[in-house]
Amino acid sequence: MESTGVLVLGMHRSGTSAAARVLTTLGLSASRPDDAVRGPWNPKGHYESQAMMHLDNRLLAEMGCTWWSPPPSGMAYGDRVARITVSARQARQVFRRAYPRKRWVWKDPRACLLLPFWRRVLGHRTPAVIVLRNPLEVAASLERRNAMAPAFSVALWARYHRLLLEHTRGMPALVTRFDDLIADPARWAETSAAFLTGVGLPPPHAVPGALEDSVDTSLRHSRHGRGDLEREAPQALALFDAWEALVGTWVALDPPDLGGEPTAVQIELDTMGPDNDPGWRPPPWATPGGADAGTPAADVRKDGAPWT
C-alpha cells in the first residue's frame, strides 16, 4: 500500500490532537465525521477514528497489552507482535473505510506501540510527525484525566518513547516539540507544510481562517522544563534528551541506540497491569449529568465495536 498520508505519533496527552488539527488546516483529511472519537477531554476534538482506535485496542489485546500496559521494548517485543492474528489485508480494509480520502492524517497514540505492524500495512516509508512533550506535563494531564500516579505516567511515557525510538528508524519524520506548536502555531504549520512537500504530499491548500482557531493555549494546564525533569524524574532524562536531539526534519530518521531500558520502568508499569483499567474523570468544564459528564464509550472500550 503506497502511503498518501501522514501519521501523528506521540504519547497520550502530548498535543497530538492539536498537531493533527493543524495538519487538517493544511488540507489533509481526518477520519470520516461519523467515525470521529468525541469526548470532553479534547474540546476541539481528538482527531481520531473510532474504528481505528478499536482496531488498535484489539491488536494490543492480542499482544496481551493495553494502552496503559504497553508491550515490552527490545527483543521481547517481537514475541508479542507475533501473536497478532489480524492480517495486513484486514487492517487495510478498516483503514481505507476510516480514511477514504487521499492526503489523510491519522493520529492515535496507540500506534506508537504498534508501529512495526502499521509500517507493514501502510508502508515502511510512511511519513510521521512526532510530537515531544515533557513527561512531567504528560503525567500532570494523566493524573487529572485518569488519576494515574505521576511516577507511573512517567514510566508509561518512557516506554512509548523508547518503542518509538526503536521502531521509527528510516521513516521520513518531522520531530517537533509541543512547546513550539503552542508558542507559534503559524510557524509550526509552515514547518509542517514544508515537511509534507518534501515527502511528496504538498498541501493542496490552507483552510482560510482555520489555523487561528486550531490551537487553544488556555487548555495547557502545566509547564515544566528540563530542569524540572532533572530534579523530579531523572530516570527519563536520557530518553528525553535523545528525542530533543532529534528535533527537526528527517528524510530517514536515525535514532540513537540507548541500550537496554532501565529495569525501574517495567517495575513501575507492573504496578498496574493490563487488567486494572485506570478509569476516567470528567474534566472540570464538563456539564454535570450532561452528555460530556464522564467518558464516551469510544474512549474506553477495549474490545471495541465490529471493526471488519
Nearest 5°: CA angle at 57, between 55 and 62?
Answer: 95
pLDDT at 158: 98
Angstrom distance (rounded) from CA 157 to CA 150: 10
Angstrom distance (rounded) from CA 211 to CA 26: 9
Pick the CATH number of 6-277 from 1.10.760, 3.30.460, 3.40.50, 3.30.70: 3.40.50
Whole-angstrom CA distances from 152 to 7, 50, 97, 156 are: 26, 26, 36, 6
Q: For the residues of 130-166, what is the DSSP string, one character each?
A: EEE--HHHHHHHHHHHH---HHHHHHHHHHHHHHHHH
| Identity of the residue numbered 182 | I
Sorted by where each begins, the domain ranges of the chain are 6-277
Which set of grid coordinates corresponds to residue 150? 505521576
Angstrom distance (rounded) from CA 55 to CA 58: 5
pLDDT at 140: 92
Which set of grid coordinates corresponds to residue 167? 521502531
pTM of the model: 0.87
Q: Which of these, 63, 173, 91, 79, lies nearest to 125 by C-alpha position?
A: 173
Whole-angstrom CA distances from 179 to 15, 102, 108, 267 are: 9, 29, 20, 30
pLDDT at 296: 38
pLDDT at 222: 67
Which residues of the chain fall below pLDDT 70? 1-3, 38-46, 204-222, 282-308
